[in-house]
Amino acid sequence: MNNITDTQHLEKDKRLIILDTETTGINPREGHRIVEIGCVEMINRQLTGRIFHAYIKPLDQRGQVLEMEQEVIDIHGLTNEFLNDKPIFSQVVHEFIDFIRGAELVIHNAKFDVGFMDHEFSMISGLPKTADVCTITDTLKVSKDEFGSPKTLDYLARFYKVDKLVDRTYHGALIDAQLLALSLIHISEPTRQE
């Protein structure tokens, strides 16, 4: 993923998609899957009101519903019962790709989310990798450059005083995308010293 950039490359009029995912675990190679995708659109460092948001019923390699561990449910609050009637990834993927196509994806810890997205894409014939659809900015790398060490999204939200603007009882993908977008307004201000 050598095409992941930092915010100095964010052009003023560039269409930004701030993205987050929630998953059944931490490693797609161990069969973990995406259960939620949340994206918000920004242009000129302003939220446009356009979003992409989907809950996804996770299936294992055999096409059976993947049951999540309680430890994971406690993080994002999505239960097996809640996800049971949601679409599977292949039912939302084309709308999702259309939404992010040509944009600059901004993700906190992009390696994690892009790894899951690319894994999901690879399981459906004919789909590209994320980097073939859009460019990617990793705000985890940006936070390391800015603060001397990588910082969590929670840290950035507190530092930029936007943490109280979004209810984060759980780590929902759309909620975290909104929080990162609010933080990004400050991270990418033109007066920021490089």
CA–CA gap between residue 166 and residue 109 (Å, rounded): 20
Contact between 133 and 19 (Cβ < 8 Å)? no
Residue that is written with structure tokens 């009882």 in the block: 169
DSSP E strands: which ranges in 12-144? 15-23, 34-43, 46-55, 104-107, 135-138
Contact between 22 and 54 (Cβ < 8 Å)? no
Q: Residue 22 pairs with which residues in a beta bridge?
A: 36
Q: Which residue type occupies 81?
A: E
Catalytic residue (choose from 53, 119, 171, 186) = 171
Q: Residue 137 pairs with which residues in a beta bridge?
A: 5, 106
53 is catalytic: no
CA–CA gap between residue 143 and residue 129 (Å, rounded): 25
Positions annotated as catalytic residues are: 171
